[in-house]
Structure 1
C-alpha cells in the first residue's frame, strides 16, 4: 500500500526533461492552444447545441463551459509554471500526490489523446472528401470508411493525414510550431470573415425568446431554461479541453514561468471570444430549429444567406483547422507517452529520445494506435471517452493546488503565476469540473469506468513492478 503513495522528486523530472530542447515561445503556445481548441467544433457545435438544447442561449452554454475551463486553466497555469515537466497532469500529480494517483490522471488524459487523434483524423477525412467530390475525386467505400462501416475497410485519408503529421512532428516541436502558427492565422481570419459576413444577415426575431421555455425532448434530454443551458455545457465542454495540450509540452517551453500561464490563459480567452461570437451570429441568421440534424450549420447558413463562395472558403478552412488540432493532440500525446516510458510505467523504450533529443518512438506508437482506433471503433463510442477522461484529470489538478502550495519555495520553485483567490478557487474549479462530469450521459460514465479498470490492471500488472520510483524506494530500504 505504501508504494501507491510514493512521490517523485521534482528534481528527477527536471533532470530527465532537461534533454528536451526549450524552443517554444508564448506565440507558439497561443497558436498551439487556439489551433487545438478552436477546431471543427466551432463550425458545428453552435448549431447542434442551439437546436438540441439551448436555443439562442447557446452562447450562454459556451460561456458557462468557458468559465469552468477557465477555472481549471488557472490551476494548470500555476502547475505548469511551478513544474514545467513533460506529461502535464501525470507528472504533476506524481510529484504532489504520489505515483498511483499520477497514473490515474495520466491514464485519463491518454484516453483523450488516443481518441482525439483518431476522431479528428476521421473528421478531417470526411470534410476533405466532401470538398473533393464536386471536383470528381471520390474514393471507393472500402478506402473511405472505417472497418465494418458502410462497406469500409480502412479510412485511407485519415491514415495518410496521421502519418503526415507524425512526420512533421518527428522533425521537432519548433518545425511543427511554425506550420501551426500559419494555419491558425488562416483559420482565425476565416472565422472572422464568417462573423462579419453573417452579422449583415441577422434578424432580431431569431433571438426572441433568448432562453426558450423548458421542456423535455423525445430522447429524455432537456431543452430550454437553465436545464437546457446546462445540458449544452456538457456537450460543449469537449470544445475547450485542448488547453491541456499546451501544458503537456511545458518541458519544451522557453522561460516556462511566464510562457506557460500566458499561453494557457491567452489561448483559452481567444477561443471563448470566437466561440461566443460565432454562436450569436449563427442563431441570429436563422431560427435555431433550422440547425437540427445539420452537420455543417455555418456553411449552410452562409449559402442560404447568399454567400456560397464564403461558405466554400469556411469549409476549406474547417479542414485546415483539423490539421492544427491534430498537430496539438499528437504533440501532447507523444509527450505523455514519453513520460510513461521515462518513469518505467510503460515499456522504457517509450521514454528514449533519438539523437535529435525527440521522443519519436512514443510519437510512432501514438500514430499507430490512433490509426487502429479509427479503423476498428465507431466514433460515437470513442467520443464519449474524451470529455470523461479529461474532466477526471481536471479534478485532480484543481485539488492538487492545495498540496502544491505547501511545497512552493521549498522543494518546488516559487512560480511566477499563482491561482487567484486561494484557497476558495481551487475548490470551486473542482466542483465545477465535477458538475460538468455529472452532466455527461450514462454511456460516457460507463465507458470511462471500463477504461479505468483497464488502466488499473496495467498499473498493478506492469507499472507498479517496473516503476523506477518504486525500484529506487526498494534499493533505499535495503
Structure 2
C-alpha cells in the first residue's frame, strides 16, 4: 500500500518534459496566442448566451453575471499565466500538476480537461452545422433528415455537416502551426469585426427603459432555476462561465510558443481582457435594444434583435461571419485537445502511439487523428445534451488544481523549475481566491452536472489503475532500475 501511494504521488522531473517536447516546433507568437484565445473564448456563446441568461436568470443584470464570471476566470488566468511561463509544456494542467503534485493528481486534472475538449469540439461543430443549415434553408437548400440528425435522433443517421466541419479543421491543423495560425488570425479578425458591427449598430436602437429594473425581483422559474436578485445573477455566472474557459487552449500549446516566458502570460491575460470587454458590451447593447423577456427560447438573439430594429442586411452579415468564425473555436479546441492526448501518450498514461511526433510535420498526428475520430462519433452520431455541463464541471476541477498548485510551484521556481517571466500578484492571497471562486462556480452547477462529473471521474480512475499506472514510462523506468539494483 505504501508503494502504491508513493507511485501515485511521484512527481515528474520538469527537464524530462522539456526533453520530450523538444521535437515540437516553437513557432507561435503573442499575436498567434491572442488570436487562438480570443477565437476560442469569443465563440458561439457571445451570439447566444447574453440573451438566454438575461431571459432565464438575470434580466438586464446579465452584465453583472458576465463580469463576475470574468473575475473568476481572471483569478484563475493569473495562475495559468505563471504556470505556463514557468513550465511551457504541452498538456497544460495535466503536465503542470504532474510536476508539482504528482502522477495521480495530474491524471485527475488532465482527465477532467479531456472531457471538456471531447465534448466542446463536438458541440461547437454541431452548433456550426445547425447554423449553416439555417442560413442555406432560405435558399431552398435542405438536407434530408437522415443527413441532418444523428442516428439516435428520430429519422437520423448522421449529421453530415458536423463530420465535414471536423475533418476540415483536422486538415487545417495538420498543415502546421504557422499555416493554422494564419487562418485563425484572419477568422478572428472577421469575427471581432462582426461583434463590433453589432455593438455599434445595436447601440443606435437602445431604449434605456429596458434597463429598468436593472436587477429584477427574485423568483423561481417553472424548471426550478432562479431568476432575479443575487440568486439569478449567481445562476447566470454558472451558465456563463463556460464562455471564458478558452484560455486553457493557449496553455495547452505552451510547448510550441516562442519565448514562452513572455508570450504565454500576454496571450492568456490579453485574450481574456479582450473577450470580457466584448461580452459585456454585447450584453449591455442586447438587453438595451429590447426587453429581456423577448429573448426567451430565442436561439439567435443577436440576429433577431438586429432584424427587429430594422437592420436585416446587417443581421445576415453578422450571422454569416459568426458561422465562419465558429471555425476559430474549433481550431483552438482541436489543437488543445490533441496536445493533451499527446501528453497522455507521451507519458504512457494512454497508449504510447498518441505521444508520437511525426518526423516530417513535427506534429502529434496520431493524437490529432484520434481527437478527430472521437469528436466525430460524439458530434455526428450521438445525442449529447445531457453531457454539456461536463465541459464546465471538468474545467473547474482543473482550475482548482492549477490555483492551489501555485503554492508548491513558488518553492521550486529558480531551482529545478525555471524562473517565470510572470508572477501572480498578491501572493499568497490571489491563488486562494482563484480556488475558492472556482469552487463557488462549481457548487452553482446543477446536480446532474455534478453526477456526470463523478461518473467521468470513476471511469478515469478505472483507466488509471488498470492501465495508466502500469504503463507510465516513469514507473517502468523506476522498476527497471530497481530490478537492475537487485
TM-score range, shorter chain: over 0.9
Look up the SS of the partner of 2:133 in the other structure: helix
Establish whether residue 86 from structure 1 lines up as the match of residue 90 from structure 2: yes
Residues 400-444 of structure 1 show CA distances to partners (whole Å, capped at 9, x for unaligned) of 000100000000011010111000010000000000000001110
Segments ≥4 residues shifted beyond 4 Å: none
| Counterpart for residue 369 of structure 1 | 374
Separation in 1, partners of 2:51, 2:272: 21
| Counterpart for residue 424 of structure 1 | 429
Corresponding residue to 1:123 among 111, 123, 127 = 127
Any residues of structure 2 matched to 1:64-463 within 5 Å, and which? 64-355=68-359, 356-463=361-468
Unaligned runs of 5+ in 1: none
Shift of 1:166: 0.3
Q: Is the 8 A contact 1:58 1:232 kept in 2?
A: yes
Separation in 2, partners of 1:8, 1:343: 10
Q: Is the 8 A contact 1:231 1:439 kept in 2?
A: yes
Root-mean-square deviation over aligned CA pairs:
0.8
With structure 2 as the length reference, what TM-score do the two structures score?
A: 0.98
Separation in 1, partners of 2:481, 2:7: 13
Shift of 1:86: 0.2
Separation in 2, partners of 1:34, 1:91: 23
Any residues of structure 2 matched to 1:9-28 within 5 Å, and which? 9-28=13-32
Separation in 2, partners of 1:128, 1:39: 15
Separation in 2, partners of 1:473, 1:419: 35
Unaligned runs of 5+ in 2: none
Q: Is the 8 A contact 2:160 2:380 kept in 1?
A: no
Q: Is the 8 A contact 2:126 2:380 kept in 1?
A: no
Shift of 1:147: 1.3
Count of residue correspondences: 478
Q: Is the 8 A contact 2:162 2:380 kept in 1?
A: no
Look up the SS of the partner of 1:414 in the other structure: coil
Shift of 1:333: 0.4
Separation in 2, partners of 1:217, 1:433: 25
Look up the SS of the partner of 1:406 in the other structure: helix
Q: Is the 8 A contact 1:6 1:469 kept in 2?
A: no
Separation in 2, partners of 1:322, 1:401: 33
Separation in 1, partners of 2:88, 2:100: 14
Separation in 1, partners of 2:214, 2:383: 36
Q: Is the 8 A contact 1:207 1:284 kept in 2?
A: yes
With structure 1 as the length reference, what TM-score do the two structures score?
A: 0.99
Separation in 2, partners of 1:436, 1:337: 27
Shift of 1:382: 2.3
